[in-house]
Each structure stands twice: as C-alpha cells, then as structure tokens.
Chain A
C-alpha cells in the first residue's frame, strides 16, 4: 500500500533557527513529490520534485529529493514567525489518475 510518512509531526523553534522537515515514501510508480504549506485554510504550493539530487530553492526555503533512499527534505533557514504552519508532503502515483498520497504533515511553530 502506498504511504507517505513525515517527521517530526510537530516542531517548535525560535526565530532565526534553521529547520529540516522530512518526508519518506513508499509509492508504486513514483512520478513526483510535492511540498505544500498550510496555514489556516488552503494549502499553498511550495515545490515539486521529480529528479534526485537537484535542489529546488525559493528564498529561505529549499528542498531536495533522493529517489534511491525514497525521501525528501524541506529546509527553512532563518525562520520567521510567518513560517509557522503545517507543511504537507505528497507523492504522485503516475497511475491511478495521478492521485496524490498525502503525509500527515509537520506542524511548525516559530516563536519570536
């Protein structure tokens, strides 16, 4: 059965800290891995990764995929209180209508 496991489930840090969020997966017919940020309502897209070893970067956020070890990490440097959110990882199964399999998310709280 396809599954996506995120760790840690929750994390509390101080502003300025660097955090690393983990996402491991077991999915048949892997197509891509996606990261989303969910604050209060709709998840917003962060990154989509398809190839191993190529870092995607957007400001203080970056992410990389390892298709051999079946995991991805999301790094946030110099955290700010606005980074507080739930970070969701999803993996796309290339078959089955390209359904996304979602992890439970990591709840990040950044304290001032």
Chain B
C-alpha cells in the first residue's frame, strides 16, 4: 500500500517560534496533499489543500499567513506554523492521493504531528 511519511511525530516549542512539518509520499506521486487538524475526541478538520507547483487552497477561517504550505515536488509538502501560540497546539495530519490511482479520492495518511506550544 501507499506510504505517507510525516515528520516530526511530536514537537514542543516556545510561543513565538515557527515549526515546520514535512509530509512525504514514499512510493507514489501526489499532486494533491491535504493538511488536517484534529482536536482530542473530534474529527478531522481540513485546513488546506496543497497543490504541487501552485498555491495552496485554504479552508474558510484558516489563516494562510499563519499556516504556510509549500508543495514543491510531487512527493513533498510542508506546513509551517508561524509564530506559534498555545492555541495552535493540536494534532496535525497530512494525507495524499496517489495521482496514478484509479480511485484517487482514497487518501493515505501520515502518522501525524502532535504540536505543543508552551
């Protein structure tokens, strides 16, 4: 099956610093990757759609200057949480579609990043 690698799996940082999270598709190409946020005991909340070679599409209410997304290649997307604050503490998960797959709405998920901002 397709593998998505997400790094780091957890990070603790001071308020005001920036944190970068990487999402890589290891054995397939992904023109589209999705970044989700998940609070405890809640479902996945889509933050943005990352498109290779173009600007990301952000969901309503998500600050694009706060959550910078770069999708520079068919296998890598990054999410940078800029000037992190405690309210940004959350579980962030990326997912990707296999561009070559017939049923390409099926998402493969990274293992997630638990961000704690002190």
Contacts and interface: CB of A to CB of B under 8 A. Distances in A.
A binds B: yes
Contacts of B49: 97, 99
B58 interface: no
A25 interface: no
Interface residues of A, number: 20
Nearest to A105: B43
A43 interface: yes
A92 B105 contact: yes
Given A102-B43, A105-B43, A48 B93 contact: no
> Chain B at the A interface: mostly helix, strand, loop or mixed?
loop
Say whether chain A's binding surface is mostly helix, strand, loop, or mixed.
strand
A32 B97 CA distance: 15
Contacts of A100: 34, 46, 105, 107
B112 to A, nearest CB: 5
Given A34-B105, A88-B43, A104-B43, A41 B112 contact: yes
B109 A32 contact: no
